[in-house]
Amino acid sequence: MMTDLLITLIRIATAFAATNLDDIIILMLFFSQVGGALRKRHILAGQYLGFAALVALSLPGFFGQLLFPRPWLGLLGVVPIVLGMSQLLVVETGQEADDCDDALSPDSAGLSWLSPQTTGVAAITLANGGDNVGIYMPMFASSNGFELGLTLVVFFGLVGMWCLVAWRLATLGAMGTLLTRYGSQVVPFVLMALGGLILVDSHTLEYRGLTALALTMIGICAIYLLRTAARLSFAVELGKFVPVSQRIDG
Q: Return per-residue pLDDT of the chain as tens, 250 residues.
A: 678 788 888 888 888 887 787 788 888 888 887 776 788 888 999 999 999 999 998 887 666 545 667 788 778 788 878 878 887 776 555 444 444 344 333 343 343 456 788 888 888 888 877 768 767 876 787 677 888 899 999 999 999 999 998 888 887 766 666 666 666 677 788 778 878 877 887 788 999 999 999 999 999 999 988 888 777 776 666 655 555 455 445 4
> Tell me, what DSSP letter sits at residue 172?
S
Instruction: Determine if residue 106 is left, alpha or beta; phi over 0 gives left, psi from -120 to 50 gives alpha, anything else beta.
Output: alpha
Cα 176 from chain centre: 20
Question: Can you give the pTM of this predicted structure?
Answer: 0.67
Domain ranges of the chain: 2-249
